[in-house]
Every structure is written in C-alpha cells, then in structure tokens.
Amino acid sequence: MTSLKSIIFYVLLIFFLFVPLTSASGITVSAFIDKAEATLDDQLNLSVTVNGAQKISEPVFPPVKDFQIIPNGNSSEVKIINGVFSASKAFNYILIPQREGNFTIEQIRVEVQGKVYKTNPINIKISSSVANEPKVISESKDFFLTAEVSNPNPYINEQINYIIRFYRKVPVSDASLERPNFEGFLMEEYGKEKETVKVIDGNEYLVYETKVALFPTRPGKLGIPPAKLRFEAVKKSKNRGFFADPFSDDPFFSRGQIESKILSTKTLEVQVKPLPKENRPANFANLVGNFKFTATLNKDKIKIGESATLTLEVSGHGNIRGVPEPSLKESPDFKVYSDQPATVINNEGNILTGKKIFKKAIIPLKEGTFHIPSVEISFFNPETGKYEKAISQKVTFTGLITGEDDKLHFVENFKGLNPKESIKVLRKDILPINMSISALKDQRLNLYDPLYLAFSMIPALSYLSCLIYKKRKDRYLGDIKFARSKKAFKEAKKKIKEAKIEHEMGKEDFCADLSRAVREYLGNKFNITGSALTPGEVLEKLEAAGIDKNSVEETKKFLEKLEYEKFVSKTLSVKKIEELLNSGKELLKRLEKDFRRTTL
C-alpha cells in the first residue's frame, strides 16, 4: 500500500513538473475587438488573451490618443483534458472613441516568464454620431448620452451653456457623471438638474438634463473633451417565453442581470471670436453682456463727521463676477470709504442673471450741498454687436454742521435783566456735603469681593471669546473641508425639508431629492462632489472613515430602498413619505454621531 502511494506521488510530481514546461513552449498572445466599425456614441470591447500561461504581467499599450482606454476586469481559465494541461488569461478593456476617422492600435506588449510577446495590430473605423438626438433609434438602443453647446461661435467672455442629456428606456443605478475639463473657460453652476419625458420615433425616453454656464477666456478654437457616464443597467432578456420568470425585468429582483456601462459624449469645438477693436471705450474692462447701473444714498442729510451709505448696483446678464469696481472722483468736500463688494447670481432658467453690489461710506467734511457725479461702466453687448455704457444717477446730499442742541451748556446768561437774576443755574456739578458719620468709613474698593472679581474677569473672557470666534471664522474661510463638514448636517436637514415641501407641491422626484440630500451630506463630510457618489463609493468612504458597521449597512439599505422606490413606485402614499423622511432623518443623526466620534 505504501509503495502504491509512493508511485502515485512520483507520477503526480513528474506530471506537474513537466506540464508548465510543456505549456510554456506553446504560449500565444492575441487581441480581439468586438466590432471594427463604430460611431462616436459607441463603446468598444477589447480583449487581450494569453494562452499557455497564468502568471502574466499587465499588458502595455502603445501611445493611444484617439481612444480612452478603461480597464474592465480580468478572467482566467485552467483546463486538464485527457492529461493535457491548458491555461489562459484575458485582460478586458473598454475603448471610448475621441474623434472620427480610421485608426490603428499598434501591437500591445505582454511579458510572460521574462519574454515579451506582441499582439497583432487592430484597425478601427470611427464615424460621426448620427445627431445629438437621432431621428431613427433602434429598439435595442435603451440609452444614449449627448452633449451640446448653446452657441458654438461666441465672443470672448460671452456666456454659452454646455448641456448634457442622458436618454434611457430602462432602469439604471449607481450613475456617476464625469464632466470634462473646461480648459479655456470660466464655469458657473446652474440650479437643480431636471428630468423630462421625450418620445422619439414612438420610443418613450426618460431624459436627465444637466448644464453649466461657460465663459470663454481667450479667442480661437477651444475644445471640450467628452463627458463620461458610468452606471449599471438592467440587461433585458432576449428570450421571454410563457414560463419566464415574471420578475426577470424588475431591477429589484434581477441582481444577476445587472451590467456595467460607460457612455461618452463626442468632443465639441467652440470657435471664440475676439472683441472688436473699433469704438472700444477707454474704460472697457472685458465686461460682456447687458447691464444696468443704479446709485442710491440711504439719506440725503448727513452731519459732518457722520456717514451715509452709497449703494452702487450693476445688474443684468453676462459675466457678472467680472464687473470692475466703479471709481468715484476724489472730492475735498467729503471722504469715500469702500466696502467689500457682494455678488448675487440667479442660476435658474437658461441664462445666468445677477447683480454686483458695491457699498461706499460717504462722510462730509464741511457744511453745504454736494453732488456725487454719475458713474459709468462700459460693456460689449453680443446681442447688438456694439459697445454700450451703463450710467448711474447723480446723487445729491447736504452736509450739516453739528446742531446747537448738541453743545454743552452749564449756565445761561440773560442780558438786560436785574443783576441778581442775570445768572440762571441749569445744572449742578458739585457733590453734596455728607453730614452722616458713615461718610468716614473706608470707601476703598475690596479687591477680593466676589462681585468685583466676577466683573473684572469679563474683559478677559470677552477677549478670549472673540479670539476663539476669530480663529473659528478664519478656519471656516481657509479650510474648505472643515467648513463643509461642519455645515453638512444642517444643510442636509434643510434639503430634506425642501424635498418634502416640493413633493407636497406636486413634484415627483421625492426619492431622488432625498437620496441626493444624503449623498451631498456625505460629499460635504468627505470634501467631494456628493451627487456623483455611487453606493459602492459611499460604502468604501464610510468604512475607510471608521464609521460603525451598522451605520454603514443602514446607509446602504436606505440608498438601495430609495433607488428601488424611484424606479418602481409611480406614486408614494403619505405614510410611505413619512416613513422615508423619518428613516432619512434618523440615518443622518446616526451618521453625524459616528462622524463626531471618529474625529475625537
């Protein structure tokens, strides 16, 4: 029996010693792509397969500028058939086209057991997208992503809108939008995203739209790279028979049918026109748009040495943040002191409007009537193609000498009267004579009196309070992460309250708003964009932050529940709304408690 075991052991040892050598001699490396022709709206699947080995280094791609390459997982396979050992490993990638044309992906290098192997070159033809909103859409196109600009030929500093639309016919989850880098533009956020329903060739699509305002900062051709959307979608069953699972198309019951997707928009080009040099005003400061200018003084009679507030307000649409501070001419009659300007942006609608407010303190130096001359700003109006001016009103005020009633008089002299009555006493400033023996007592202050000690500590405590407040305020202004973290809980409660009010007013995005409130709370805590967080990223961030495991699991379940209700329930009952609201509030309280514990 022992000899039989020894024989089997040596046979197996010889087999496994020689099998790797045999298989290594037959190593092959190849690359395959699922389609050789595609459009800018498509994504391609590339697979690099190595046969005959398992311990393989990551493939090395040649420089590829025309595609974005995204790893999409690896797979391995080992077979022993009739004593013949075979092994293979596949590296999978997603290719996203960046522009149209005919391209060749040169040989990909793979190192196996110290030897370098190369794949065959791959030829790909990329054609342009049919349109931002295709006229003909096949039944199989369950979702697509588009991007456009409202004006591809703006002037420098003229506002344009960059709009992303995501069309879908099937439920999706864990969506994460990656905006492009807007190099050469200043960006201003709009308000909330919106969702609408659009019918294209008989197909009903739910359309998610988000946009930002862009202001080109230099003339010439500027490119906007593709935006990318990552999400998970329900994979529809192709063969749906009579006995098929009735829940197979329900996202809640079809975990095994979820597949990851990445969509990309096409690259956009904007040709920016320079501003005309003809008739350009001397005081022009690159302000583009259409503006009005007003000036008001809060009072028209000012005592010498006192101040009034002059408010200069520039309002309209355009690059409102770029409005320069108006300058007032110096005057020997009054002093002018400037305050920090304030900017108010209205980001609703299709064009940004707003106002920039400049406040100045006016202090008269002498008596008289004075005029603050009108002030003008110059701007370029792209609607008329001309330089225009906005002029404020002229402001008039009166400087008053200090009134007689404010002077101090202790006696009043009446001329022409009897000398005995010529002086009338108005007030006394001599202390009364003390006739009591108590006046001889020690009147010195007792330094150890508790009341005195308490009052003497007030200045020190006030100074300490001001110092703590200043340091905290400086940290709020200088440490964005700290400020966002401290305000996160308060802002989240406010957004939950707003979600309830908007639902009562007829808005149907309650679950999406509630989910956004929780995600943005976590985004503020981690100093990242909360609305772009996926449930997977939420769990990773919470676990890395040391949050209690029960809280992490509760957060996961709550977000999944909102996602389910969002896509399954058309309408929510009052009881369901209250249940979700209470769950959201309790979850936020629990997370806030955990975050405070982890920062101690």
Domains 22-127 and 478-599 share a fold: no
Residues 6+ apart with CB under 8 A from 46: 31, 32, 33, 34, 69, 92, 93, 94, 95, 105, 122
Residues 6+ apart with CB under 8 A from 148: 132, 162, 163, 268
Domain 478-599: which CATH number of 1.20.120.330, 1.20.1090.10, 3.40.50.740, 2.60.120.10: 1.20.120.330
DSSP 321: G
Residues 6+ apart with CB under 8 A from 393: 294, 295, 374
Per the CB < 8 A criterion, the answer to whether 364 and 334 are in contact is yes
Rounded Cα distance between 332 and 330, Å, is 7
Per the CB < 8 A criterion, the answer to whether 438 and 444 are in contact is no
Rounded Cα distance between 381 and 389, Å, is 10
Tell me the one-letter amino acid at 169. K
> What is the predicted pLDDT for the residue at 245?
45
> What is the predicted pLDDT for the residue at 50?
87
Rounded Cα distance between 567 and 252, Å, is 9
Rounded Cα distance between 382 and 216, Å, is 13
Question: Could you tell me whether strands 395-400 and 301-303 are parallel, antiparallel, or unpaired per DSSP bridges?
Answer: parallel
The crossing angle, in degrees rounded to 10, of helices 574-599 and 480-504 is: 170
Tokens for 264, please give them: 């990309």
Rounded Cα distance between 229 and 212, Å, is 16
> What is the predicted pLDDT for the residue at 443?
63
> What is the predicted pLDDT for the residue at 280?
92
Tokens for 593, please give them: 């408690």
Question: Could you tell me whether strands 160-168 and 185-189 are parallel, antiparallel, or unpaired per DSSP bridges?
Answer: unpaired
At the second CATH level, the architecture of 22-127 is Sandwich (2.60)
Per the CB < 8 A criterion, the answer to whether 258 and 234 are in contact is yes
> What is the predicted pLDDT for the residue at 5?
58
Question: Could you tell me whether strands 28-33 and 220-224 are parallel, antiparallel, or unpaired per DSSP bridges?
Answer: unpaired
Tokens for 237, please give them: 């069953």
Q: What are phi and psi of 371, to 5 degrees?
A: -125, 130
Tokens for 20, please give them: 């790797």
> In 226-326, at which residue ranges do the beta strands (DSSP E only) sit?
228-234, 258-264, 268-272, 289-297, 301-303, 308-318
Element spanning 583, H or E: helix 574-599
The crossing angle, in degrees rounded to 10, of helices 450-478 and 480-504 is: 80
Q: C-alpha angle with apex 102: 101 to 107, nearest 5 degrees?
A: 135
Condensed to tens digits (0 to 9), the pLDDT of residues 548-560 reads 888 888 888 888 8
How long a stretch of residues is the chain?
600
DSSP 421: G
546: left (phi over 0), alpha (psi -120 to 50) or beta: left
* Full 3-state SS string of 444-488: CCCCCCHHHHHHHHHHHHHHHHHHHHHHHHHHHHHCHHHHHHHHH
Instruction: Tell me if residue 50 falls in helix, strand or coil.
Output: strand
337: left (phi over 0), alpha (psi -120 to 50) or beta: beta
Give the burial string for 342-355 (b: 16+ CB within 10 Å, else e): eeebeeeeeebbbb
> What is the predicted pLDDT for the residue at 375?
92
Residues of the chain with pLDDT under 50: 17-25, 130-140, 238-256, 404-417, 419, 422
At the second CATH level, the architecture of 289-400 is Sandwich (2.60)
Q: What are phi and psi of 462, to 5 degrees?
A: -65, -45
Q: C-alpha angle with apex 226: 220 to 228, nearest 5 degrees?
A: 155
DSSP 283: T
| Domain 143-236+253-272: CATH class, spelled out | mainly beta
Distances 511 to 106, 194, 198, 244, 568 between C-alpha atoms, Å:
48, 14, 21, 31, 11
> In 284-410, at which residue ranges do the beta strands (DSSP E only) sit?
289-297, 301-303, 308-318, 334-338, 342-346, 353-364, 368-372, 376-381, 386-391, 395-400
> What is the predicted pLDDT for the residue at 115?
85
Question: Residue ranges of the domains in the chain?
Answer: 22-127, 143-236+253-272, 289-400, 478-599
> What is the predicted pLDDT for the residue at 423?
53
Residue (of 110, 160, 419, 350) closest to 272 by Cα position: 160
